[in-house]
């Protein structure tokens, strides 16, 4: 009843067809975001992210499900690490790359990956992905930062489930930033007020949204981005063309937390995308070091924006236990992995069986021992 096709450009798929499957909750799986990555040269064969987008059609030829899919020649830009699996397999004489990655490039953002008009079609899409991987002769298929329900659907067809950890902030109906601070222990309240005051010294800090973000801002932000990548010895996947394309196509869903000198000289910025009920923090960069400015733009400005606009959550990206003292608590993230070679599959399955309880224990321990909220704080 169903047929699967793989497409080397998302432009080959009509935006209306793609977005009818993706919905409008999460901007990262929208046709607009993914096409901006490709047209800017950010997600490409050059960077090791070769688009192979999956399209599932019913017997009448109508598109019923899609998935953002890439053939990968490495494991960078994914934030769910399988380098150890690749090294072990290749030392044993196997070939781990290329692999298929169902993901949003360079974006550790949880959300849907098996995009279907009707959730009942997800099972057919999963089965088709497995068949495609077998036909192509790739080592594996990895679906990263998927939803809990998607992980269960994938596990039912032989994918190995994996847990990760991020730190998210939840809006408990706060009317003001001070209402949020009131929920914290007194020590944490004082710390945050001190950090915000230091960060704002001599700077103008504000959120910019949609048309407020001009070419001048994107030029400066790209410099910030490159400086941050160079400092951390990473790879600059995102090109200069990506930022204005993102602004054009996502409009009011783009929120840039901005810091500048009184004369307008840019100092730092933090890029966010706005979903239906979540603000997603993405990239950050600065022209110079300013004490606590990273915390102000990436965490406190995001919280203040969420409160002002009634947004339920802020997801501030990967890593960082330092986020806990600033109100962001640990939550699990999910992925699922299909591996063709039985020996490698058995080894990975045994590893994941040990890793999952360790991740859950870490989440519980951080929430119990490090939370800044008064309900669980040791002292106030």
DSSP of 218-230: HHHHHHHHHHHHH
Nearest to 275 by CA among 315, 248, 217: 315
Under the banding of pLDDT at 50, 70 and 90, the label for residue 233 is low
Eight-state DSSP code of residue 45 = T
DSSP of 318-379: E--GGGGGGT-EEEEEEEEEEESSHHHHHHHHHHHHHHHHHHHHHHHHHHHHT--BTTT-S-
Tell me the pTM.
0.95
Average pLDDT over residues 317-325: 86
Average pLDDT over residues 111-133: 97
Under the banding of pLDDT at 50, 70 and 90, the label for residue 53 is very high
pLDDT the model gives residue 378: 39
Under the banding of pLDDT at 50, 70 and 90, the label for residue 325 is very high
All domains of the chain in start order, with CATH: 3-164+332-368 (3.40.630.30), 172-311 (3.40.630.30)
Average pLDDT over residues 75-88: 95
pLDDT the model gives residue 379: 35
pLDDT in tens, 159-195: 999 999 999 999 999 999 999 999 999 999 999 999 9
| Cis peptide bond upstream of 98, omega within 30 | yes
Dihedral sign from CA coordinates of 17, 22, 25, 28: negative
Q: Which residue has the higher pLDDT, 301 or 233?
A: 301
pLDDT the model gives residue 12: 97
Instruction: Give the H or E element holding residue 282.
Output: strand 278-286
CA 375 and chain centroid, separation: 30
The encoded tokens of residue 116 equal 């279907």
């Amino acid at each position: 009843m169903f047929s699967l096709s793989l497409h080397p450009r998302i432009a080959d798929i009509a935006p209306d067809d793609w977005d009818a499957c993706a919905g409008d909750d999460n901007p990262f799986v929208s046709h607009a975001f993914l096409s901006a990555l490709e047209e800017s040269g950010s997600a490409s064969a050059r960077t090791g992210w070769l688009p192979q987008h999956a399209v599932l059609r019913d017997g009448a030829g109508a598109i019923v499900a899609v998935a953002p899919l890439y053939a990968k020649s490495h494991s960078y830009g994914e934030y769910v690490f399988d380098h150890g699996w690749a090294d072990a397999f290749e030392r044993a004489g196997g070939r781990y790359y290329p692999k298929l990655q169902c993901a949003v490039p360079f974006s550790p953002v949880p959300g849907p990956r098996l995009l279907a008009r009707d959730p009942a079609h997800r099972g057919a899409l999963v089965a088709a992905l497995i068949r495609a991987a077998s036909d192509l002769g790739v080592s594996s298929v990895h679906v990263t930062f998927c939803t809990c329900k998607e992980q269960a659907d994938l596990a039912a067809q032989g994918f190995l489930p994996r847990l990760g950890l991020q730190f998210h902030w939840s809006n408990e109906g706060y009317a003001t930033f001070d209402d949020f601070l009131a929920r914290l222990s007194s020590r944490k309240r004082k710390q945050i007020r001190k950090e915000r005051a230091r960060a704002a010294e001599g700077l103008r800090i504000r959120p910019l949204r949609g048309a407020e973000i001009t070419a001048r801002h994107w030029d400066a932000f790209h410099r910030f981005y490159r400086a941050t990548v160079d400092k951390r010895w990473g790879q600059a996947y995102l090109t200069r063309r990506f930022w204005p394309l993102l602004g054009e196509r996502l409009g009011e869903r783009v929120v840039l937390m901005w810091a500048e000198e009184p004369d307008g000289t840019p100092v730092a910025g933090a890029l966010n995308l706005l979903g239906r009920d979540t603000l997603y923090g993405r990239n950050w960069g600065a022209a110079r070091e300013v004490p606590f400015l990273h915390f102000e733009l990436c965490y406190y400005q995001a919280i203040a924006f969420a409160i002002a606009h009634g947004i339920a959550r802020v997801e501030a990206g990967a890593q960082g236990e330092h986020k806990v003292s600033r109100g962001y608590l640990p939550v699990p993230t999910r992925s699922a992995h299909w591996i063709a070679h039985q020996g490698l599959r058995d080894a990975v399955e045994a590893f994941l069986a040990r890793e999952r309880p360790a991740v859950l224990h870490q989440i519980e321990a951080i929430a119990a021992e490090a939370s800044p909220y008064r309900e669980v704080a040791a002292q106030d």
